[in-house]
């Protein structure tokens, strides 16, 4: 076998690639990581300004799997973790221009004015609605209309889907985007029955449902996690992987670009942790079917706007996690997090920090407006919904291709990628377009990718 530059080349130093690289490095695997940006973290980025701390991308993670705390402990940042305040359990939904608290318990659901009696009665029918066939791939909207009715779709699920995926429930696939919901229906015949019985089973497995899990961040923001994972790794910043080929001896050759320079990295194994559209270009020649599947995964644009106000200039008590704005309300924003209510240390005591999301599949062109226009749109929206007067400052971050959409056919696309992995042992794809988009899901997928590589990496190099 020709001389190797590393055992494994990891392409992309976002959370997925860093988690995989960190775990591999701890096993003594020789690694090279390539990343086009000048810093690690991908979409994760925390910034201090004037006594505030804002996030450009993810604001929090959900502690849905024990792997999260295991990783934090291994990275030495368990003590940096902070959990969302108790009041962040309250989430608001915009209805008829007014923010109403989302009911979080059965009595609260009965008494809320957020949903009509017709919608509440539809819930009583839910346990008796027949499950779909196991092989039927339904959209999230179709699934929710069938089981819970149109009003829950419009005022609970659609805004929630916009909050997680910046996505459209009429396009997302239930088994791909919400596998737990799909499994609840398949296993228990009902979401409500499944919630009750499933909670007991999850207690045994230590996994938590997203609605029961704690939101966490770190004293210095989400970037604490990716910075800690990156520390000690050999990362080539400013380097983009452009292609991948296999040599006769089985080595993977990653074709890299640093500005106008070209060079190659030879390794026994490659973990592709770049977004799907980039991974598609990289494997175009090696695995054309997988490339076509990856190319079909759509990423809508999202803009985040951090806005700092004097506390006295915001009328709303900001006593919660934030609010979601359903499409039915034709809002100019997807929703807004009350960042300084969620976590301590996000703003000076006399100020508040709000993080607003704009765009997504629902209103992509809005996310592409200029920074000044976005800042102005958000101030106007927050004035209307929260009674927020002039912000002290605002910072806009635009993500032209933000979050992968698990639309109908997604599982077949992932299956095409799995066939490419089976055909080229040592090749592994690991990013947020697979296994879930959330922070915890990326950690879980990266863990699974490292596990999947173990038998291959344990083989002697000459036979691998």
Ligand X SMILES: Cc1cc2nc3c(=O)[nH]c(=O)nc-3n(C[C@H](O)[C@H](O)[C@H](O)COP(=O)(O)OP(=O)(O)OC[C@H]3O[C@@H](n4cnc5c(N)ncnc54)[C@H](O)[C@@H]3O)c2cc1C
**Which residues neighbour 211 within 8 Å (Cβ) at sequence distance 6 or greater?**
none
If one asks whether residue 233 binds ligand X (CB under 6 A), the answer comes out as: no
Check: CB of residue 346 under 8 Å from CB of residue 52. Answer: yes
d(CA 302, CA 439): 17
If one asks whether residue 60 binds ligand X (CB under 6 A), the answer comes out as: yes
Q: Which is nearer to ligand X, 123 or 286 (CB)?
A: 286
Q: Which is nearer to ligand X, 173 or 215 (CB)?
A: 215
**Which residues neighbour 243 within 8 Å (Cβ) at sequence distance 6 or greater?**
254, 255, 281, 282, 284, 285
Q: Figure out which of the listed residues 9, 20, 54, 58 binds ligand X, where binding follows CB under 6 A.
A: 58
Q: Figure out which of the listed residues 84, 99, 191, 241 binds ligand X, where binding follows CB under 6 A.
A: 241
**Closest Cα partner for 314 from 395, 373, 385?**
385
Q: How far apart are CB 89 and ligand X at their closest, in Å? A: 16
Q: How far apart are CB 152 and ligand X at their closest, in Å? A: 23
Q: How many residues bind ligand X (CB under 6 A)?
A: 37
Structural tokens at position 136 = 């039927």
State how far Cα 449 lies from the chain centre.
17
CA of 123: how far to CAs of 55, 145, 150, 190, 235, in Å? Answer: 37, 11, 11, 11, 51
Q: Figure out which of the listed residues 152, 399, 406, 429 binds ligand X, where binding follows CB under 6 A.
A: 399
> Which of 65-73, 89-97, 150-158, 432-440 is the region at the interface with ligand X (rule: CB under 6 A)?
432-440
Q: Figure out which of the listed residues 67, 273, 325, 361 binds ligand X, where binding follows CB under 6 A.
A: 273
> Which of 1-9, 98-106, 315-323, 434-442 is the region at the interface with ligand X (rule: CB under 6 A)?
434-442
3-state secondary structure of 217: strand
Q: How far apart are CB 12 and ligand X at their closest, in Å? A: 3
Q: Figure out which of the listed residues 35, 138, 185, 377 binds ligand X, where binding follows CB under 6 A.
A: 35
Which uninterrupted H or E stretch holds 335? strand 335-337
**Which residues neighbour 296 within 8 Å (Cβ) at sequence distance 6 or greater?**
409, 413
If one asks whether residue 44 binds ligand X (CB under 6 A), the answer comes out as: yes
> Which of 97-105, 181-189, 273-281, 286-294 is the region at the interface with ligand X (rule: CB under 6 A)?
273-281
The contact set with ligand X (CB under 6 A) reads 11-17, 34-37, 42-44, 57-62, 240-241, 273-275, 278, 302, 304, 399, 402-403, 431-432, 437-439, 442
């Amino acid at each position: 076998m020709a001389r190797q530059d590393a055992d494994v080349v990891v392409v992309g130093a976002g959370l997925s690639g860093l988690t995989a690289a960190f775990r591999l490095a701890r096993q003594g695997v020789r690694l090279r990581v390539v990343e086009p940006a000048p810093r690690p973290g991908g979409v994760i980025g925390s910034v201090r300004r004037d006594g505030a701390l804002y996030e450009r991308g993810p604001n929090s993670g959900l502690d849905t799997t024990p792997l999260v705390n295991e990783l934090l402990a291994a990275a030495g940042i368990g003590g940096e973790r902070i959990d969302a305040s108790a009041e962040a359990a309250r989430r608001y939904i915009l209805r008829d221009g007014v923010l109403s608290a989302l009911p979080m318990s059965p009595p609260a659901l009965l008494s809320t004015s957020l949903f009509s009696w017709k919608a509440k009665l539809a819930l009583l029918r839910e346990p008796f609605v027949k499950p779909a066939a196991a092989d039927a791939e339904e959209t999230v909207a179709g699934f929710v209309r069938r089981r819970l009715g149109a009003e829950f779709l419009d005022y609970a699920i659609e805004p929630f889907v916009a909050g997680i995926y910046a996505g459209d429930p009429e396009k997302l696939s239930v088994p791909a985007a919400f596998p737990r919901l799909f499994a609840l229906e398949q296993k228990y015949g009902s979401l409500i029955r499944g919630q009750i019985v499933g909670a007991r089973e999850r207690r045994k497995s230590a996994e938590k449902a997203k609605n029961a899990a704690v939101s966490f961040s770190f004293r210095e923001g989400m970037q604490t996690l990716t910075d800690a994972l990156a520390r000690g790794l050999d990362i080539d910043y400013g380097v983009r992987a452009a292609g991948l080929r296999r040599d006769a001896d089985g080595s993977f050759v990653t074709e890299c670009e640093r500005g106008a320079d070209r060079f190659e990295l030879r390794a026994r194994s490659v973990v592709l942790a770049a977004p799907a559209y980039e991974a598609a270009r990289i494997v175009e020649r090696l695995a054309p079917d997988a490339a076509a599947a990856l190319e079909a995964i759509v990423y809508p644009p999202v803009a985040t706007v951090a806005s700092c106000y004097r506390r006295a200039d915001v009328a709303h008590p900001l006593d919660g996690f934030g609010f979601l704005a359903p499409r039915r309300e034709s809002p100019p924003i997807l929703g807004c997090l009350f960042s300084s209510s969620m976590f301590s240390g996000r703003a000076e005591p006399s100020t508040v920090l709000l993080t607003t999301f704009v765009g997504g599949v629902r209103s992509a062109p809005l996310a592409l407006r200029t920074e000044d226009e976005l800042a102005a749109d958000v101030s106007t929206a927050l004035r209307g919904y929260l009674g927020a007067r002039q912000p002290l400052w605002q910072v806009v971050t635009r993500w032209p291709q933000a979050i992968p959409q698990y639309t109908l056919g997604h599982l077949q696309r992932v299956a095409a990628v799995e066939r490419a992995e089976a055909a080229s042992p040592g090749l592994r794809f690991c990013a947020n377009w697979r296994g879930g988009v959330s922070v915890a899901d990326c950690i879980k997928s990266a863990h699974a990718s490292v596990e999947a590589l173990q038998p291959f990496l344990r083989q002697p190099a000459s036979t691998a």
